[in-house]
Amino acid sequence: MRTLLTLIACCCAITAASAANDPLISPSTKSAVAGGGTGSIASIRPSSPGSSSASASASSSSPTRKLTEREREAEAEADLSAKIAARLAIMRANQQARAAAAAKAKKVAAATPPAPKVYSNHWSYEGENGPANWGKINPEWSKCSTGNRQSPIDIRDGMKVELEQITFDYHPSSFNVTDNGHTVQVMLSGGNFLTVNNRMYELIQFHFHRPSEERVNGKGYEMVMHLVHKDGEGKLAVLALLLERGKPQPVIQAVWNNLPLEKLETLAPSTVLDPLDLIPARRDYFTFMGSLTTPPCTEGVLWLVMKEPVQASPAQMALFSRLYPLNARPIQPGSGRIVKESN
């Protein structure tokens, strides 16, 4: 009886109406359900052994009739119990099947990789794709906004020390010129090296910015050249040459003479240029750690900024300004980094 009551309690959601229509429940059970008056399963459950109504009814009936009633009651109880158990088993099986199907669908969804998002590689010096948004355009450029060793900086409060001289091992080299849409860039054939801190870096390319990206004690220059070097481990060192108005510069003239007529085209002249002709007579410099000044703004770049500016003629300056009137990243926070300078 206790088992039956538990079963009834468990399936209280099954109404008499649904039980009456259920083909799994026999007609005799249906009539027992329907005969309950209120229509609920609870209303047709047999009396419990200790209930007063059952004992009162039993005491007033004949022994033969009591036996028959008990038999019927037991039969109905067993029949109902079996039907409810069968129905519960079906409900549990259905529930398990639904859960399994949902889990399978979830697994399939998890196993299917989302379509890769395509990020833009377009950046500029102004507007929506300007320096303030570089870090948001492409996740690979996040250092542009989250880095703490970004370039350029306003160089000030340097520690004056006896810095080791930079050794230049530069030679006349073949070269080509490209207007890459952000600047004019000159690629050099190999074999040009600078050595500093006992490390040798090879000159790969140089390019121009207007106005100068670096400042010295707040002072900006009309232009700057960046000579990008790489060592055997792939570490970068950038030598910055600040440009001021003065006499014509022969290396810059050789580059201007060989500008391609269209952007993204490369012109490879048969002449050579000697990068050593760019280096000022006085070799004092500032040095600090920084980054590329264009996306992806990679950090870990050794910066060497020559103190003495290099002269270029007003006509040479004007020619570049026709191509790029502004291609300089704004000053970035120093973030407590150490700047050393030649004494």
Contact set with Zn ion (CB under 5 A): 226, 293
| CA 195 – CA 170 distance, rounded (Å) | 11
Q: Which residue among the candidates 29, 178, 183, 207 is catalytic per the annotation?
A: 207
Least distance CB 326 / Zn ion (angstroms): 14
Whether 207 contacts 328, CB under 8 Å: no
How many residues in the chain?
343
Q: Which residue among the candidates 29, 183, 213, 287 is catalytic per the annotation?
A: 213
Report the DSSP pairing between strands 266-267 and 167-169.
unpaired
- Is position 207 annotated as part of the catalytic site? yes
Least distance CB 222 / Zn ion (angstroms): 15
Give me 119's structure tokens: 């990020």
| CA 302 – CA 291 distance, rounded (Å) | 8
Q: Which residue among the candidates 29, 178, 209, 294 is catalytic per the annotation?
A: 209
- Is position 293 annotated as part of the catalytic site? yes
Closer residue to Zn ion in complex, CB, 54/289: 289
Q: How far is CA 125 from CA 215, 325, 326, in A?
A: 18, 11, 7
| CA 251 – CA 277 distance, rounded (Å) | 7
Closer residue to Zn ion in complex, CB, 210/226: 226
| CA 231 – CA 235 distance, rounded (Å) | 5
Closer residue to Zn ion in complex, CB, 170/206: 206
Closer residue to Zn ion in complex, CB, 125/193: 125
Least distance CB 228 / Zn ion (angstroms): 7
Question: Cβ neighbours of residue 59 under 8 Å, at least 6 residues apart?
Answer: none
Query: Tokens 């440009």 map to which residue?
Result: 243
Closer residue to Zn ion in complex, CB, 33/221: 221
Least distance CB 207 / Zn ion (angstroms): 6
Least distance CB 124 / Zn ion (angstroms): 15
Least distance CB 209 / Zn ion (angstroms): 5
Q: Which residue among the candidates 29, 178, 214, 226 is catalytic per the annotation?
A: 226
Closer residue to Zn ion in complex, CB, 33/292: 292
- Is position 171 annotated as part of the catalytic site? no
Q: Which residues are identified as catalytic?
A: 182, 207, 209, 213, 226, 293
